[in-house]
Amino acid sequence: MDFSSVPLASGVFTIGKRFGFEAGHQLPRLPPGHKCARQHGHSYEVEVVLTAPLLEEPGFVTDFGALAPFKKFLDNELDHRNLHEILPFEPTSERLAQFLAGWFTQNLQPAIPGRLVSVLVRETGSSWARFGVEGQ
């Protein structure tokens, strides 16, 4: 079969990459009987989603290797920490996703060709929060 006759569809390219870290937290503003008001921990999964209308050579939105500084930030600053002791906000998954999107756009996005669309933070296999970046 001659594949050169197959047209390339029009559209936007999107990629995602998952990262993980272990951390504890508590949400003391919840009612005293709520289980999340007590100290507990999660094996967090964080997924960043990036998009681009055109691909960079050799055909990437962003080289996955260019996302290594984000993994280094998670490992050095959040992994095996009590998040409520180091972050300037109550560390819900929603706020953590927003914070990580802010860090990414401030520290990594200027150096890469793709644009951040969203950050998803998963606390468990069945629960997650997503922050969508405006204007992307």
Q: Which residue segment(s) compose the domain that 104 sits in?
A: 13-132
For residue 63, the surrounding DSSP H or E stretch is none
Q: Which pLDDT score is estimated for 136?
A: 58
- Let me know: does 13 contact 49? Beta carbons within 8 Å: no
From the list 22, 77, 80, 85, the catalytic residue is: 80
Residue 67 lies in a domain: yes
Choose, from 36, 47, 56, 90, the residue flagged as catalytic: 36
In a domain, 121, yes or no: yes
- The alpha-helical segments, DSSP class H, found in the chain are 68-73, 83-86, 93-107
- Per-residue pLDDT of 19-68, as tens digits, reads 999 999 888 788 888 887 777 889 999 999 999 999 999 999 999 999 99
Q: Per the domain annotation, does 7 fall within a domain?
A: no
- Residue 56 annotated in active site: no
Query: Is residue 8 in a domain?
Result: no
**How much is the pLDDT for 57?**
94
For the segment 70-97, what is each residue's pLDDT rounded down to a tens digit? Answer: 999 999 999 999 999 999 999 999 999 9
Residue recorded with tokens 């999340």: 36
Domain membership flag for residue 108: yes
Total number of domains constituting the chain: 1
CATH of the domain at 102: 3.30.479.10
| Average pLDDT in the chain | 93
Reply yes or no on whether 123 is catalytic.
yes
**Is 110 inside a domain boundary?**
yes
Write out 26-62 in H/E/C secondary structure: CCCCCCCCCHHHCCEEEEEEEEEEEEECCCECCCECC
Q: Is residue 1 part of a domain?
A: no
pTM: 0.92
